Chains A and B, each alone.
Chain A
Amino acid sequence: GAVVSQHPSRVICKSGTSVKIECRSLDFQATTMFWYRQFPKQSLMLMATSNEGSKATYEQGVEKDKFLINHASLTLSTLTVTSAHPEDSSFYICSASSVQGALIDTFGSGTRLTVV
């Protein structure tokens, strides 16, 4: 079945630094990729939607200059958390959707970001 690879799985960074998270669709072309953030004991909250070759669409309250999303190809999307602060510590997870098949969303394995 469809597989989405996400890495790193865990990252600890210092406050003020930037962190890049990659999400790759391994065996299908992801027309659309979604980035979510999940705080402990909470649901997945959509941060942004990205389509290959175009600018990402951010949800209300998500700073586009802080969370940079690049979807340069049909198999790769990246999320860069810039100038990270402790409150950015969270579980970040991507999912990919395709016009092929049943349009089922396939999730990456998630990235646990800890900002110290």
Chain B
Amino acid sequence: GENVEQHPSTLSVQEGDSAVIKCTYSDSASNYFPWYKQELGKRPQLIIDIRSNVGEKKDQRIAVTLNKTAKHFSLHITETQPEDSAVYFCAAKGHNAGNMLTFGGGTRLMVKP
């Protein structure tokens, strides 16, 4: 089955700096890679996703890059703000509805004002 590794487990940055979280996956058949932000006690919120037919996607301060050959993908947050502080999870899955998400271990991001 799929195995997703995520690093770092914790990340502390100063407000305004950039944050980068990296994930690797094992199953070359995976073709959908979402990123979720989860605040304490709440559901994961999809913040950006990328499919395997593109290498990069950007949405305002958030961007995701995908390297299919190396089987890794990264989340980039620029101009971080205190409200970006949360736990971020990467995930991977195949394209069928029955394919489940496999989550990385999570990264606790702390943005210091």
Question: What is A's interface to B at a CB cutoff of 8 Å?
Answer: 31-32, 34, 42-46, 49, 51, 91, 93, 95, 97-99, 103-105, 107-110, 112
Chain B residues with a Cβ under 8 A of chain A: 32, 34, 41-44, 46, 49, 89, 93, 95-98, 100-106
A43 lies within 8 A of B43 (CB): no
User: If A46-B101, A91-B41 touch, does A105 touch B89 (CB 8 Å cutoff)?
Assistant: no
> Nearest Cβ distance between residue A50 and chain B, in whole angstroms?
10
- Within the assembled complex, what's the spacing in Å between the Cα atoms of A42 and B107? 10
Residue contact B97 to A43, C-beta cutoff 8 Å: no
Which chain B positions have C-beta within 8 A of A42? 105-106
**Do B43 and A93 have beta carbons less than 8 Å apart?**
yes
Residues of B within 8 A of A105 (CB): 34, 46, 93, 101
* A104, B35: Cα distance in complex, Å: 11
Q: Are A108 and B95 in contact (CB under 8 A)?
A: no
Shortest A58–chain B CB gap in Å is: 12
